[in-house]
């Protein structure tokens, strides 16, 4: 951005970072193609046997379905609540507004481990263990503060005059929100939605604590149980891991432009 050609050390840095990021993945990939056991077998034989057994002879498909359902509902709930909250926090003045926002941020910094036991007890009491609902509720609560902050900063960058112009043009307050504010918010919603989706996809601790029953597992939990289910069949675990990366990777590929735009739009301007 500052000059036409980056200095040599920038390339070196990027190269090292890339190798650091790609090497484990590459190793994982090779491992997943090895039909024999053992991490260091290096048999030189490659096949898709591991993939076949992960996809067709395990519960992986069910885990994918579970994760997708939970992720989509979490995204939906989080975005709905966060959008409405962000609108209120951005457009209305009310006593304690900033205190509430800071409080939310602090609350979101609590380590998961600290609330795990009470969460489990609560879920058990409500008879919600091993359901989609409890995962959606807890994930939504967990993601709400960050999403609220992201969307509020996004909302703050939308000039209030746009809504005022719509009010004068004949909209009600709600009409102006739907017709004018929401369309401006789309990049922010996409970015926030993607972040939440990927969070759910990667989440493990909450998921394993609240929904560990075999048919209710999320992908991450399923992979973890492979360690015991298959013995230590590294090839299959590797294949499962590779497969589980695919959906978020595809989402990223499709949405990366919106994501970058969405994340930076609130900051600049």
Partner 1 sequence: MATVEIRAVKKAYGATAVIHGVDVDIEDGEFVVLVGPSGCGKSTLLRMIAGLEDISGGEIRIGEQVVNGMPPKDRDIAMVFQNYALYPHMTVAENMGFSLKLRKAPKAEIETRVRRAAEILSLDHLLDRYPRQLSGGQRQRVAMGRAIVRDPQVFLFDEPLSNLDAKLRVQMRTEIKELHQRLHTTTVYVTHDQIEAMTMADKIVVMHDGIVEQIGAPLDLYDRPANQFVAGFIGSPSMNFLKGHVRLDGTPRFETPDGIALPLSSPGGVEDGQPAVYGVRPEHMQTDPQGVAAQVLVTEPTGAEILVVAKVGEQEINCLFRERLSFAPGETIRIAPQPNLTHLFDERSGRALA
Residue 231: phi and psi, rounded to 5, are 70, -145
Q: How many residues bind partner 1 (CB under 8 A)?
A: 16
Quick one: which of 193, 192, 185, 194 has its CA closest to 91? 185
Q: By three-state DSSP, how is residue 231 classified?
A: strand
Nearer to partner 1, 42 or 159 (CB): 159
Query: Which two tokens mark 87?
Result: 């609108």
Quick one: which of 234, 238, 202 has its CA closest to 218? 202
Nearer to partner 1, 105 or 162 (CB): 162
Asked if 131 touches partner 1 (CB under 8 A), the answer is no
Burial class (CB in 10 A: 0-12, 13-18, 19+), 66: buried
Half-sphere exposure for 249 (CA within 13 Å, toward CB): 7
Asked if 20 touches partner 1 (CB under 8 A), the answer is no
Asked if 170 touches partner 1 (CB under 8 A), the answer is yes
Question: Least distance from C-beta 168 to partner 1, angstroms?
Answer: 5
Asked if 122 touches partner 1 (CB under 8 A), the answer is no
Interactions with partner 1, residue window 51-80 (CB under 8 A): none
* From 41-49, 72-80, 171-179, 201-209, span contacting partner 1 (CB under 8 A): 171-179
Nearer to partner 1, 191 or 251 (CB): 191
DSSP 186-226: HHHHHHHHHHHHHHHHH--HHHHHH--SGGG--HHHHHHHH
How many other CB atoms are found less than 10 A from the CB of residue 18? Answer: 10
* From 125-133, 149-157, 167-175, 193-201, span contacting partner 1 (CB under 8 A): 167-175
How many other CB atoms are found less than 10 A from the CB of residue 179? Answer: 13
Interactions with partner 1, residue window 179-208 (CB under 8 A): 180, 183-184
Nearer to partner 1, 56 or 92 (CB): 92
The only residue of 171, 198, 208, 263 in contact with partner 1, by rule CB under 8 A? 171
The answer to whether the CB of 210 falls within 8 A of the CB of 123 is yes
Asked if 172 touches partner 1 (CB under 8 A), the answer is yes
Asked if 265 touches partner 1 (CB under 8 A), the answer is no
Nearer to partner 1, 188 or 235 (CB): 188
Residues that bind partner 1 (CB under 8 A): 159, 161-162, 164-172, 175, 180, 183-184
């Amino acid at each position: 951005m500052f000059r036409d050609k980056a200095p040599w050390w920038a390339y070196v840095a990027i190269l090292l970072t890339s190798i650091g990021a790609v090497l484990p993945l590459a190793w994982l990939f090779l491992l997943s193609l090895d039909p024999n056991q053992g991490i260091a077998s290096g048999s030189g034989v490659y096949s898709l046997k591991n993939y076949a057994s992960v996809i067709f002879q395990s519960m992986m498909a069910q885990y994918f379905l579970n994760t997708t359902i939970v992720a989509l509902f979490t995204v939906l709930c989080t975005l709905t609540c966060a959008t409405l909250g962000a609108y209120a926090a951005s457009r209305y003045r009310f006593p304690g507004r900033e205190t509430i926002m800071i409080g939310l941020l602090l609350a979101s910094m609590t380590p998961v481990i600290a609330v795990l036991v009470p969460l489990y007890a609560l879920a058990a009491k409500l008879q919600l263990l091993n359901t989609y609902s409890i995962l959606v509720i807890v994930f939504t609560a967990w993601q709400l503060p960050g999403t609220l902050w992201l969307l509020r900063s996004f909302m703050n960058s939308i000039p209030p005059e746009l809504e005022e112009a719509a009010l004068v043009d004949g909209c009600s307050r709600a009409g102006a929100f739907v017709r004018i504010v929401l369309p401006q918010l789309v990049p922010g919603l996409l970015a926030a939605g993607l972040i939440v989706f990927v969070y759910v996809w990667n989440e493990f601790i909450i998921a394993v604590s609240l929904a560990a029953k075999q048919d209710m597992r999320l992908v991450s939990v399923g992979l973890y149980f492979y360690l015991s289910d298959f013995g230590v069949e590294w090839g299959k675990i590797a294949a499962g891991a590779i497969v589980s990366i695919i959906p978020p990777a595809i989402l990223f590929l499709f949405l990366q432009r919106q994501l970058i735009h969405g994340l930076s739009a609130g900051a600049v301007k």
